[in-house]
Amino acid sequence: MKKINNYFISTLVLLGFMFLIACNPIVEPELLPVLTTSEVSVITQTFATSGGNITSDAGSSVIARGVCWSTKANPTIAGSKTVDGAGIGTFTSSITGLTAGTNYFVRAYATSSAGTGYGGAYQITTFAATPNVTDIDGNVYHTITIGTQTWMVENLKTTKYNDGTAIPLVTNNTTWGALSTPAYCWYNNDAATYKNTYGALYNWYAVNIAKLAPTGWHMPTQTEWQTLEGVIGNDSTKNNSSGFSATLGGARYDDGTFSLVGVAGYWWSSTEHFTGSAWMGSMGYSTNFLDMFFFYSKQYGFSVRCLRD
C-alpha cells in the first residue's frame, strides 16, 4: 500500500508541474535589430557624416534609426543622436554641432519594440579651429579645414597683390572682353551691393600671377579642387554641411556682361587648359554639387578661393 501511495503522489506532482508549464509557457526574449555602422567621413571642425546598415529587424519592425555620438565610448540614444527614418536597409546621417579639435565616438542605432540595437563604434577627431587670415587690403577671411586642406570660407576681395601692387579695376565691357592682362571687377560694377557678400570677380590673368593670394596661401590647382570635390561630394548650398560656404558670386562673361549672381558660383583654378582657356569649378543653387570639369576663356571674370600652402 505504501508503494502505491508514493506512486500516486509522484504522479500528482508530475501532473501539477505539467499544468504549471501549460499555464505559464516559457517566453523567449525578443531579439534586437542587427546592424553595422558606416565609416565616418567628411569630418570638419563641427560636422561629420556617418550612417548604418540594418541587416535584420529580428522580427520586430524598426521604428527609429540613426547614429548617436559622445565623447565617451559606447554612446547611446540617451545622449546626442540623429533620427533618420525607420525600417531596415542603409541610411546616411549628418552629425552637426560638434566641437573643433575634439575626440568623439560614433555608432549607429536601430530601435524596435524589443529595444535598441547598436552597430560598432568609430572614434573620430574633429579638425582644430583654424585662425582667420587677412589680405593686404585688410579684408578678414574665416578658414576651414576640410579633409587635409584648409580653405578660405569667403570669396577673395583684394584689390592688390600681396606685394602692394594694385590690380587694374576694369568696368568697361569692351575693354574687359579684349584683355589679356590682369583685371578685377565687382558684380555689375557695384561694390557697395556685392563686395562684402560675393567678393570680387577676377580674370584668369590676375589669378596666374602668384601674388594674388595672401602670404602663406595660393591659388588652388585643378587637382586640389578635385581633391575638395572628392571630400565634400554633394555639399548642399542650402545647408552648407561641409562648411565650404559656396557663395554664388555669378560671373562676368568675355563680352563684359554679368550674370547669375546668387544662382551659380564659379571659381578659377591656377591650371591652364589651352592658350586661351583655364580650368574652373562651379556650383549651382539647384545642382548642389561642386564640379571641376569645365574650362573657360581666360577673359571670364570668376570668383577666387585661396588654399593654405
Q: Which residue has the cell 505539467?
A: 18
Superfamily of domain 34-125: Immunoglobulins (2.60.40.10)
With b for 16 or more beta-carbon neighbours within 10 A and e for fewer, the 161-194 pattern comes to bbeeeebeebeeeeebbebeebbbbbbebeeeeb
Q: Comparing 43-47, 80-84, 92-96, 265-269, which segment has the lowest mean pLDDT?
A: 43-47
Q: What is the pLDDT of residues 6-27, one digit of tens each?
A: 555 555 555 555 555 555 555 4
Distance CA 286, CA 238 (A): 9
pLDDT, tens only, 245-260: 778 899 999 999 999 9
Kindly report the average pLDDT of the chain as a whole number: 86
- The answer to whether 37 and 120 have CB atoms below 8 angstroms apart is yes
The strand pairing partners of 141, in sequence order, are 133
Alpha helices in 24-145 (DSSP H): none
* pLDDT digit string, tens, across residues 112-143: 999 999 999 999 988 777 789 999 999 999 89
CATH 2.60.40.10 segments of the chain: 34-125
Return the amino acid letter for 215. T
Q: Please tell me the pTM assigned to this model.
A: 0.66
Phi, psi of 159 (to 5 degrees): -105, 0
